[in-house]
Amino acid sequence: MDRFYSLAHSSIDFHFKQSPRDFVVEEIPLYEFSGEGEHLILFVRKKNLSTNEMVGQIARYLGIKNRDIGYAGLKDKHAMTKQYISIHKQHEEAMDGFNFDAIKIISKTYHNNKIRIGHLKGNRFYIKVKKVNPTSAAKIDEALKNISDAGIPNFFGYQRFGNDGDNHILGEKLAKGEARERNPRVKKLLINAYQSHLFNLWLSRRLEINSLVSSFEAKEIETLLNMPNDEVKKMKAQKHPFKLISGDIMEHYPKGKLFEFEGAEEDLKRFNERDISVTGLLCGKKVKVSSGIAGEIEKDFDDEINADGARRFAWIYPTDVEGRFNPIEAQYEMNFTLPKGSYATVLIEEIAKRKINK
């Protein structure tokens, strides 16, 4: 899939590959742990293991099922990642003897609830890219400033689509009953890939529309997009890099209720101030869809499938963005925090303005 990018600079040349030395993730929990309760909370560091592989190692050691171990989100395999897991307190003494080279228990506490998927606020990243010259470093500096100021599109990263990038193909067949998969977890993963694929196509289309709105006069855009002139003029007047369209579904940021955008100046102001953000469709049942002109665009990336749908933020705001150039090593280091469900590799691709190596 050819993807549109939000930043205006030309492609930046550097080398990036996920590894524990160059890609570090630390989970930010959704809430403070109470320090008491029947669940043992472990802060765990892992290297070159997926979250499921780490959970499997601990479960086998304890003689329990994988589902007895709670975690908030899946972390990258080819990285050094730090995240919280929960197990029943009865296993605390046994865990004192746990020893596995790729897994280290950093600290422990207690809580009265099991950690469940989604129980995280976001993730803090440290990333290093290499073979960076001074000109590229200056462009990365500017890109990070723009990202800190204006945010980025919330694409799904390549990790979502499997090693060959084509999980969505089988996912579509499963979602439409044209194929079968006995493992419910695998089935859900593949169907999610299809939903994510359509979301990415829609988001890329919206960025393309943003580019046209910024580059052409209103009369030209009206013809190019077959869109009413008054709507085009409203889009051109917007300061935000993502141009809202009547009928878009908005959500309070970073979480809250969904509502429809009707062009109100107050909502445009709230969008500029990061109080709300625009959402895209993850197609399926029981989901609110866009209306009006936004709905006409969205329906090209909708599909009737046998799965529940959802809305996903289409535009997010990385925070605590920092960058440092090391001219001696020709390396650039960056730190940033992303909300849950967002991909650091997408941010790197936005900076590079090209696909990056896995």
**Active site residues per annotation:** 76
Contact of 258 with 311, CB cutoff 8 Å: yes
Residue 170: phi and psi, rounded to 5, are: -70, -35
Give the list of residues 6+ apart from residue 36 with CB closer than 8 angstroms, or none: 110, 111, 112
* Bond into 254 cis (ω within 30): yes
HSE-CB for 33 with a 13 A CA cutoff: 25
Among 101, 62, 108, smallest CA distance to 84 is for 108
Nearest Cα to Cα of residue 81 among 28, 17, 23, 158: 23
Structure tokens that stand for 338 in this block: 């992303």
Alpha-carbon gap, residue 21 to 79, rounded angstroms: 7
**316 vs 339: CA distance, rounded Å:** 8
**Cβ 204 vs Cβ 4: under 8 Å:** yes
Rounded-to-integer distance, Cα 45 and Cα 50, Å: 11
DSSP 8-state secondary structure symbol assigned to residue 261: -
